[in-house]
Amino acid sequence: MSNEQIQFIAVTVFLSVAFCALPSTLPLDCKNLTDCQSLLKFKEGLSDPDGHLQAWNITSFFCNWTGVTCHPHLQNRVVALELINMGLRGRISPYISNLSLLTTLSLQDNSFYGDIPTSLGNLYELTYVNMSGNKLEGSIPGALQGSLPASIGDLSKDLYYLNLLNNRISGEIPDGIGNLSSLVSLYLKDNFLNGMIPATIGKLEQLQRLLLGQNKLIGPISKDMGQMVNLGLLDLDANMISGSIPFTLGNLSNLRYLLLSRNRLSGNIPLEITQCSNLMQLDLSYNNLQGSLPTEISRFLNLALSLNLSNNNLEGELPASIGNLASVQAIDLSENKFSRAIPSAIGKCISLEYLNLSNNMLEGTIPDSLKQITHLAVLDLAFNKLSGNVPFWIRDNQMIKYLNLSYNRLTGKVPNTGRFENLGRSSFIGNAGLCSDSETLGLPQCKVEKQKHKKRKWAYYVLEISISCALLFFVFVVVFVCLRYFKSEIEESEASVLMASPRHYGSRTFTQRELEIATGGFDEANLLGKGSFGSVYKANIDEGKTILAVKVLHKEYKPKGYASSTGFLHGSIGYIPPEYGQGIEVSTMGDVYSFGVMMLEMITRKRPTSEMFSNGLDPRKWVLSAFPNHILDVVDISLVQEAGAKDVRGALSRLEQCCTHMLDVGIMCTEKNPRERPPISLVAKRLKNAWKEMGFEA
């Protein structure tokens, strides 16, 4: 056989094989691949106005499609579908349940509507579900809770994140939800859920965040919820929950946010709840709670955000122990029946920015201790029985933006200078005893009050003058007789007195040079005494005829206002170290501070100038609130989602370990006192050691 014949046969065979390999309808990449076809079916029911899914077609490899992630080792198997905020509209196709190895499903912030497919329960590998911010309706599929059929029982072993927040889901929360033993986060807030909260939810011992607020839930709070020992956030606000607050909630030692407002809760505030010493925010407002405020409220030493008990039926005296809440930024006890005086200890709440005690039955005067709260921006004491004068310290407090003292029993003159210049009638209306010379306050003129008592005061003046004249005449006669009788003795005594008594020269200013000469250069021989503020020297003036006492202040005791003039820089929120606002020179410790802020921003994805840090909160305080046991609460959510989506055992744990090291460095670098910050060499060493500990090459 010739070479030409051999070549012809080879080409013929190659073309035949190549022709037979061509698919009839789909390219090789999608033919007979269940995951690829399921994604195309999923796309068919969607409207994509922005063209995000334009690449989803048979001409390209589906593992490269937008939002699709395939398994790194198992060929052509989808493990993550993330279509976040793409403007997609339509129903969630049941074909999605054919992605049998799917671990992450993120469809949040789109316009998906209709029911959630019940077949989603077939995804037994699913660990992360986020469908928040859509228009989903219907009930929660029973399969999602690990109930029947038994074939989806494995789902309960892996699902750790379920987010259906802000949809239109109705119906009851199934009892089977208690079988999701690995669940860490459950977000069902802002839906139309009804019925009672199942007691089985107390079996979720790994649960850290439970958001069921803004639904139509009824019935009592189950005592079994006290078994969720890892719970850090409990949000049941804006429902129709009734009954008392179970005392078992006091077992939740890790609880930091307790939000039960706008329900129908009744009874007393359980004393056991004060055992939740890590609470940062407590909101029990708009309920029917009764009884007094426990004195054990002082245990909330970490309460850094707010205490809101407004719009209840609480009564009795405000406990002085409320002054122990030195870190709280907002206190609202309005619309209750609290009585007696406002405790002066409330002035110890030095971090307060908002204080509302209006619509109670409080008596007595407005405590002067409130002037110690230097950041107080809102003060509302309206509709009480407070008496006395309007505190004068308010005049010089430029931090107060809103003041309401209306409808009390205050008396006296309201100043028309300082902070009072920017206040209106609404701040003081309803106090019949107040007057002012300012027309903007809308109060009666104080001079009118003087005219009413003019005749009475004139009678007093006449009587006082008459008595004074009689006494003066009597004294004059006695002195005249004594002077005549003891003339010589008086003259002698007077002379000696004049010699011994200090002479008054009026106001006179001395130069530093004159004082140095008069004190012998501040000689120790002329030192009269020393104190905590300075030293006192004897000075000889006018060639020894006059002796003065000269006080020399220590240099750190500056005139009033020196520090306040730079007060606007103290504790600056941003990259600038707080000490730079105090006149301290630029140093390497300032660079360490800026590096620390950058480190916190990099891990949390929160700029120090973010609006969330506008109420006294800064990135350091925010990170500290979660450090170290709940560090993932402040870590960039995209990092958490990415780690959760990876098919690597312990990826989320390694992320938490890494972020803990880095945020620890950021916390050390942002110490307020520059002396407590580590040198940059130590920072580099800490990061290097952390890098090695994580198993990376340093």
**Residue 263 Cα to chain centre, angstroms:** 23
CATH, range 1-219: 3.80.10.10
* Predicted local confidence at residue 449, as pLDDT: 42
Measured distance CA(598)–CA(614) in Å, rounded: 18
Q: What is the CA radius of gyration of the chain?
A: 39
Measured distance CA(18)–CA(209) in Å, rounded: 57
* Predicted local confidence at residue 265, as pLDDT: 96
Measured distance CA(425)–CA(411) in Å, rounded: 15
* Predicted local confidence at residue 10, as pLDDT: 45
- What's the 3-state SS for 54-97? CCCCCCCCHHHCCCEEECCCCCCCEEEEECCCCCCEEECCHHHH
pLDDT mean by block of 10 residues, the chain; 698 residues: 50 39 46 85 91 89 92 89 93 90 91 85 85 79 39 55 88 86 91 93 93 95 94 96 95 95 96 93 96 93 93 96 94 96 94 96 94 92 94 85 92 85 85 86 70 50 47 39 40 34 47 69 67 61 64 44 33 62 67 87 83 76 83 82 68 82 88 85 83 67
pTM, rounded to two decimals = 0.61
* Predicted local confidence at residue 169, as pLDDT: 87
Cβ burial of 375 (10 Å; 0-12, 13-18, 19+) is: middle
* Predicted local confidence at residue 456, as pLDDT: 55
Cβ burial of 635 (10 Å; 0-12, 13-18, 19+) is: buried
* Predicted local confidence at residue 32, as pLDDT: 64
CATH superfamily of 564-693: Transferase(Phosphotransferase) domain 1 (1.10.510.10)
Tell which CATH architecture fits domain 509-557.
Answer: 2-Layer Sandwich (3.30)
Residue 606 annotated as binding site:
no
DSSP 3-state of 171: strand
* Predicted local confidence at residue 452, as pLDDT: 46
For residue 250 the two structure tokens come to 């006091």
Measured distance CA(24)–CA(255) in Å, rounded: 61
Domain boundaries along the sequence of the chain: 1-219, 453-494, 509-557, 564-693
Q: Cβ distance 308 to 280 under 8 Å?
A: no
Measured distance CA(537)–CA(529) in Å, rounded: 7
Common-topology check for domains 1-219 and 509-557: no
